[in-house]
Amino acid sequence: MSHTYTGDPAAGPVAWVRSKIGDTGPNYCGYGWVFTDEEITSAISDAGGNLLMACAALLVTWAIRLASQPDFQIGRFGESNNAEAAAELNKKANEFKTQAGALMSGAFAGGISGSDKAAREGNSDRTPSDFRRTQFDNPEGW
């Protein structure tokens, strides 16, 4: 279990993700390191290499960890910010998802225009479609 961060987000994907989610040191907010390098690498892999989605997933995980820790009060001293902190982490995770969504393509409804169909049929790297317009027409009546 390694924890590395040199202060340079350009050092690699793990460092970039650490810098974006704020997991940059062992004494950050008194929590220590939140994620190991292996956990971050796994999140990047699970997100298909999309660093913004990895950030969102890690922030949700962090929020769940915080929310599962009970708030407490001993005498006049207490801590009751876990729910608020978890909500802020979820809010930031949603921002990362929005940013990632703006970079990702949405649903594709191709083949609507004649030029679109011709362009895809002319693509030699495309597998032929198994569906055709008259697929269910059966004049022979099998």
pLDDT tens per residue across span 21-51: 888 877 555 567 888 889 999 999 998 888 8
Residue with tokens 């982490």: 89
- The pLDDT of residue 110 is 59
Average pLDDT over residues 120-137: 74
DSSP at 31? S
Which of the 8 DSSP states describes residue 24? Answer: -
Distance CA 139, CA 20 (A): 62
pLDDT averaged over every residue in the chain? 78
Q: How many residues does the chain have?
A: 142
pLDDT in tens, 3-16: 777 778 888 899 99
What pLDDT is stored for residue 64 in this prediction? 85
Cβ–Cβ < 8 Å for 58, 17: yes
Q: Is 23 buried (19+), middle (13-18) or exposed (0-12) by CB count in 10 A?
A: buried
Residue 62 is predicted with a pLDDT of 87
| Per-residue pLDDT at 81 | 65
Structure confidence at residue 99 (pLDDT): 83
| SS3 state of residue 27 | coil
Q: Is 39 helix (H, G, I), strand (E, B) or coil?
A: helix
Which of 30, 40, 29, 31 is CA-nearest to residue 5? 40
